[in-house]
Structure 1
Amino acid sequence: MKDEPEEAELLLHDALRLAFQSNNQKAITYTYDLMANLAFIRGQLENAEQLFKATMRHLLGEGMKQEDNAIIEISLKLASIYAAQNRQEFALAGYEFCISTLEEKIEREKELAEGVMSGEEKANTHLLLGMCLDACARYLLHSKQPSQAQVMYEKALQISEEIQGERHPQTVVLMSDLATALDAQGRFDEAHAYMQRASELAREVDHPELHMVLSNLAAVLMHRERYTQAKEIYQEALKQAELKKDEVSIQHIREELAGLARKSSPLA
């Protein structure tokens, strides 16, 4: 939390040594998980992969089932690592495992009474499925497969709306991402409808990523050749990005505004 990852890593190695010395399996598993997450955050992907696999081996060795949410969460992180490493076959297999396992689990749990499994537990499993669908959709969109990404985003959005509501920040982001997938297919009118609603909700709830949603809306307007509106929205997005001190977004929006000026000029 204090942004001292090297010191955190040293402490975790000490913790792991003590856990092994006392043969405390739960402590070993917990520490491996913390070490894996730390490596993941630091971008040490190969190290994170090995640590996540070690965590999973310990959990399965303790009797945890493959369909347990904790196993799925680790599998999702592994799939994300493979995606970042451009190991497409492994990434897609990982996402497919997470999604299909959770869908089958949810189907079986539908008929379970409240006393056997709480509504909160069922909701958490649904939300985890939404996370997996979202991650897979992002990867598919990045891999230039927008129609497949659209299907994933639609399912993830439905889950988020049903469980968290339309005004939840994650729902707004998914709505915007779905619009981006539609926009990438040239389905500009549908994309605009979703993006317009996402921007309205983002303004209403003072969304932390309002500037990004507005920037996406402006991009759709540009593709529809509505240059005056696009410029206004980009300018609003730029103000919001500057308030957030998001330098990457500021640079991107300025570049888009420059491109827009060239497109809409009489000599363009």
Structure 2
Amino acid sequence: MMGTLRRGLGLLVARRRRWRSWSGLPPPGPGPAPPRPRGYSLLPLAAFTWFSKPATQEKEEEEEKEGADEKPSEHSDAEANIILMLKRAKLYIMKEEPEEAERILHEALRLAHQSGNTQAIIYTYDLMANLAFLRGQLGNAEKLFKAAMSYLLAGGMKQEDNAIIEISLKLASIYAAQNQHEFALPGYEFCISTLEKKIERERELTEDDIPAEEKANTHLLLGMCLDSYARYLLTRKQLPLAQKMYEKALQISRDVQGERHPQTVVLMNDLATTLDAQGHYDDAYNYVKRASDLAKQTEHPEMHMVLSNLAGILMHKEKFAQAKRTYQEALKQAELKGDLTSIQHIKEELAELSRRSKGS
């Protein structure tokens, strides 16, 4: 049933210039970072997918393979209508027409309840929750995510299942955005500790026991949780602990996805910004320099931001001539991208650099 449907798995963003996410839906993670103090010139980056394939997708793919030979007429009329409505809703989400998407999703949910299609109910709740999150309706998103989770648990899914962890991470992120720290902190800790224990238990299992891809996705989900938790800790000004979380997330991304993966580059950058904020300029430079080299080699979409951060760290190291050249390169790339926010930021930093170099 409903094997053709897909439950989403989000991307993480540290920068709130715009959402980058699966199917145009919002990622988990805390809200906008607090304003940077004067002279703190580094920008966290929008992140990319941790997953080559959603961690919650395996079960549905198995179901789809089992029903691959099933003729369309074998689907009930209600199920076919639900599938069509959900496809239309996702299209309206991508077209940034949330009101129409929400209207269709409500109709799909009504039909799913009428037909008793539990999988369709769960999938629709999840889409509705992500849409509510995208629109800043955090209270509504929380209720919808909890509804989806309750159906999954009632169906026998264990709390350590990746699908439950994904929803738990989204809920922790909602609480973080609402400054409900008494719920956000245990939420993040539950996700991380549960996945770490799960990975430890699965360490000795062979591919006959558990597919390698499933193992990899569990590791990547842990990396995603660590990344999101690190950004939350930054908003709480807990820099040493945030650094530790970024280091773990970076190691996972390197091990599973490779050093050239866009997510790995993002994590190098974000770890560098955390080190820079603590005054560890040499260590910060090493990470951001490697990130900038990789960004150039791979034509990373946010290369101009990595270069801007490299220039900022060079400025903090009082390498003013190098910083100026790097800022100018970053500005050129930002102009090619048409990134007005970064253009303004880099120009402000160039002005600050001019003042500091004259005063040195």
- TM score, norm. by length of structure 2: 0.73
Q: CA deviation at 1:194?
A: 0.8
1:125 maps to: 218
1:192 aligns with 2:285: yes
Q: Choose which of 129, 134, 137 in structure 2 pairs with 1:44.
A: 137
1:103 aligns with 2:192: no
CA offsets 1:111-131 (integer angstroms, 9 cap, x no match):
112112110000000001000
Q: C-alpha separation between the residues in 1 aligned to 2:329 and 2:229?
A: 31
Q: C-alpha separation between the residues in 2 aligned to 1:228 and 1:60?
A: 59
1:3 maps to: 96
Structure 1 unaligned runs (5+)?
Answer: none
Q: CA deviation at 1:65?
A: 0.6
Could you say which structure has the greater relative contact order, defined with CA pairs below 8 angstroms and 6 or more residues apart?
A: 2
1:56 maps to: 149
Q: CA deviation at 1:142?
A: 2.3
1:226-241 correspondence runs (5 A): 226-241=319-334
Structure 2 unaligned runs (5+)?
Answer: 1-93
Q: Which region of structure 1 is more displaced relative to structure 2, 154-163 or 250-259?
A: 250-259
CA offsets 1:81-124 (integer angstroms, 9 cap, x no match):
11111122221111111110000000011111211211000000
Q: C-alpha separation between the residues in 1 aligned to 2:308 and 2:216?
A: 32
CA offsets 1:133-153 (integer angstroms, 9 cap, x no match):
011111112221111011001
Q: CA deviation at 1:230?
A: 1.0
Q: C-alpha separation between the residues in 2 aligned to 1:96 and 1:201?
A: 32
1:247 aligns with 2:340: yes
1:1-268 correspondence runs (5 A): 1-266=94-359
AA aligned to 2:173 is S
Question: Which of the two has greater helix per residue?
Answer: 1
Q: Report the identity percentage.
A: 73
Q: C-alpha separation between the residues in 2 aligned to 1:121 and 1:148?
A: 28
Q: C-alpha separation between the residues in 2 aligned to 1:194 and 1:120?
A: 29
Q: C-alpha separation between the residues in 2 aligned to 1:265 and 1:91?
A: 45
Q: CA deviation at 1:200?
A: 0.5
Q: CA deviation at 1:13?
A: 0.1
2:62 maps to: none
AA aligned to 1:111 is E
Q: C-alpha separation between the residues in 1 aligned to 2:244 and 2:115?
A: 49
Q: C-alpha separation between the residues in 2 aligned to 1:72 and 1:186?
A: 35
AA aligned to 1:60 is L
Q: C-alpha separation between the residues in 1 aligned to 2:244 and 2:183?
A: 21
Total equivalences in the alignment: 267
Q: CA deviation at 1:8?
A: 0.4
CA offsets 1:44-79 (integer angstroms, 9 cap, x no match):
111111111111111111111111001111111111
- TM score, norm. by length of structure 1: 0.97
